[in-house]
Amino acid sequence: MKYTIEGFSQEEALSLKKEVIKKVDGKEQTKILKLDVIDLMLLRWFVDFYPNMKKKIIGETQYACVNYQSILNELPLLSIKKRPVYNRFKKMCELGILIHYHDKDGGSFPYYGFGAKYKLINIDEANQQNPSDKKGEIV
C-alpha cells in the first residue's frame, strides 16, 4: 500500500470512520463517514493555504476563513460545486480532523481550524501549520 496520498498517511485516513444515523422520510438510516481522495485534496489545499489565510482566535483555538469559491478556482479538476465542498469540510469536522466556527459579524463567514484527530501528516509539519501559541482577535 502506498504510504501517503497528498502527503497524508493513507493508513490514518483509512482508520478514520464514523457511523452516523440519519432520518430520511421518517426512517433511520445508518451511514459510514470516511475519507476519500477528494477529501484529502481539499485538506491538502487547507493545509497549504492555512498560513496565509485570514484568521481569528476564539478562546485558545485559531481558525482560518475559508472561501469555498476560491477552492473551486484553485482545484477546477475536482469538478464539484460549493455545496459538496461545504459537505466535505463538514464531514472532516464530524470525523474530528477539522473544527468549525461560523462568524456572522458583518456577513456569513466559515472558519476552520485543526481538530483533535488531525494526525494524518507528520507531527512536525502539523505543528508548523497549526501555531496555537498566537493570541489576538484576527491574525
Amino acid at 48: D
Q: By three-state DSSP, how is residue 20 classified?
A: strand
- Cα separation, 14 vs 96, whole angstroms: 14
**Tens-digit pLDDT profile for residues 53-91:** 999 999 999 999 999 999 999 999 999 999 999 999 999
Q: Is 88 or 24 the better-scoring residue by pLDDT?
A: 88
Percent of the chain's residues with pLDDT above 70: 86
**Tens-digit pLDDT profile for residues 92-110:** 999 999 999 999 888 899 9
Question: Which pLDDT value is given to residue 122?
Answer: 52
Q: How many CB atoms lie within 10 A of CB 70?
A: 13
- Cα separation, 131 vs 127, whole angstroms: 6
| Per-domain boundaries in the chain | 36-129
Terminal Cα distance for the chain, rounded: 40
Has residue 20 got a pLDDT over 70?
Answer: yes
Q: What's the chain's length in residues? A: 139
Question: Which pLDDT value is given to residue 24?
Answer: 85
Question: Which pLDDT value is given to residue 79?
Answer: 93
Question: Which pLDDT value is given to residue 120?
Answer: 73
- Cα separation, 137 vs 21, whole angstroms: 37
pTM above 0.85, yes or no: no
Quick check: 63 and 57 in contact, CB under 8 A?
yes
Which CATH fold topology does 36-129 show?
Arc Repressor Mutant, subunit A (1.10.10)
**Residues forming a β-bridge with 86:** none
